[in-house]
Amino acid sequence: MSKVLIIGAGGVANVVAKKCAQNSADYSELLIATRTKSKADKIASSITNIPVSTAKVDADDPKEVAAIIRDFKPKLVMNIALPYQDLSIMDACLETGVDYLDTANYEPKDVAHFEYSWQWAYQERFKKTGIMALLGSGFDPGQTNVYTAWLKKHHFDRMDTLDIVDCNNGDHGKAFATNFNPEINIREITQNGRYWQDGKWVETSPLEIKADIAYPEVQVRGSYVLFHEELESLVKNFPELKRARFWMTFGDNYIKHLTVLQNVGMTRIDPVKFNGVDIIPLEFLKALLPAPDSLGEGYSGLTCIGCQVVGEKDGKPKTAFVYNVCDHAKCFAETGGQAISYTTAVPAMLGGALMLRGTWKKAGVVNMEEMDPDPFMNEIGKWGLPWKLLEGDAAKLV
């Protein structure tokens, strides 16, 4: 059993903490540290089976994070804060010699651009220190990376194409809301898309490519190609892939609201003068929108996230699709969080548990697909995200 520091207290961190408490064989004690301590206190008050303490921390300050690490002496730091803070928390882990885990790659606050280069640059320093940084241990990225590695290990001699599909067919009853941090969500969607084709990146306009995809156990939904960070590591670690794409569903109402907000400048991330004060329009919009962790109650419907691979096995063409379906209402009943938070949090808990046990142990900076997928796939269903495999014609979604 191990002490673990969780940084962050939003919707995902709430579920991470509760799932860690469920897994008391691996997690013996938690410290939840965040900028607003009252949010951490609320999470801690709902956990009674293991010790949980809270602290105030500015995660942008590596020295402050390092001081908390030295005081608490955790075996693992779980970064469930914002992508802006990945590097400062990694710096603190390097300074204190403690393993690191996150769920999303680094993104500078003043530029809507995200990629792994900043974190991969820490490779030699983490190796030299003898500690591990597990990047992107959420669902997408995270479980989708493991799905891809598992398909390659057990079902394909060669993978030609990969399509990651992400459907949220839920209804939260709000006119417009984002399922995770509005800043990160809107920045991601409004940027140009990218997909991998024949050894290079092909850039598209935002939401330019659309297809109707029949999601198993859910329904047919309009889905759009956008860039998602796991593509970057997957094409690096599986260079045989001729094409790799990421698809996500957006309803017409969501796109209409987003288009209007863009047209009037509310999605801008550069400062605008208002009554003599600089404000960031997107940060102001975030303050107006429903908080993602407030969406759980009354949220109905299903999510479906999975990986379709086309390739070859034993000299014959093959198509396979591995996926999970998650129910918003069931997630809320169990943890008080909606399915988007739940599907991100459960892989983070299990990824951390495999690190704590030493099952996944490798000095350096690693992405999920670099580790043996079998221990994860054998256990993830037990913690709430069971998976299914389709093969042949039934697996052909895209």
Give the model confidence (pLDDT) of 29-59 as tens digits.
Answer: 999 999 999 999 999 999 999 999 999 999 9
**Which residues are 29's β-sheet partners?**
3
Say which residues have a Cβ less than 8 Å from residue 193's Cβ, sequence separation at least 6: 203, 204, 205, 206, 207, 208, 209, 224, 225, 226, 227
Q: Are 233 and 141 in contact (CB under 8 A)?
A: yes
Buried b (16+ CB within 10 A) or exposed e, 160-186: bbbbbbbbbbbebeeebbbbbbbbbbb
Instruction: Tell me the pLDDT tens digit for each residue of 321-330.
Output: 999 999 999 9
Q: Give the pLDDT confidence score for residue 305 in this predicted structure.
A: 98
Give the tokens for residue 90.
């990694």
CA distance 387 to 381: 7
Dihedral sign for Cα 219, 220, 221, 226, please: positive
Q: Give the pLDDT confidence score for residue 321 in this predicted structure.
A: 98
Dihedral sign for Cα 213, 164, 302, 254, please: negative
- The number of residues in the chain equals 398
Please report how the helices 37-45 and 11-22 are oriented relative to each other, as an axis angle in degrees rounded to 10. Answer: 30
Q: Give the pLDDT confidence score for residue 291 in this predicted structure.
A: 73
Give the tokens for residue 351.
């990824």
Nearest to 376 by CA among 164, 132, 392, 367: 367
Residue that the structure tokens 């957006």 belong to: 250
Q: Give the pLDDT confidence score for residue 175 in this predicted structure.
A: 60
CA distance 336 to 332: 4
Q: Are 15 and 332 in contact (CB under 8 A)?
A: no
Buried b (16+ CB within 10 A) or exposed e, 346-378: bbbbbbbbbbbeeebeeebbbbbbbbebebbbe
CA distance 228 to 226: 6
Domains of the chain, with CATH numbers?
2-135 (3.40.50.720), 143-335+386-395 (3.30.360.10)
Q: Give the pLDDT confidence score for residue 182 in this predicted structure.
A: 67
Q: CA end-to-end span of the chain, whole Å?
A: 43
Q: What is the pTM of this model?
A: 0.92
Write out the chain's pLDDT in tens, 398 residues. Answer: 799 999 999 999 999 999 999 999 999 999 999 999 999 999 999 999 999 999 999 999 999 999 999 999 999 999 999 888 999 999 999 999 999 999 999 987 666 667 899 999 999 999 999 999 999 999 999 999 999 999 999 999 999 999 999 999 977 767 666 656 666 677 777 788 899 999 999 999 988 999 999 999 999 999 999 999 999 999 999 999 999 999 999 877 777 767 777 777 877 878 888 888 888 877 887 777 777 666 667 788 999 999 999 999 999 999 999 999 999 999 999 999 999 999 999 999 999 999 999 999 999 999 999 999 999 999 999 999 999 999 999 999 99
Please report, as a single letter, which amino acid is at residue 369: E
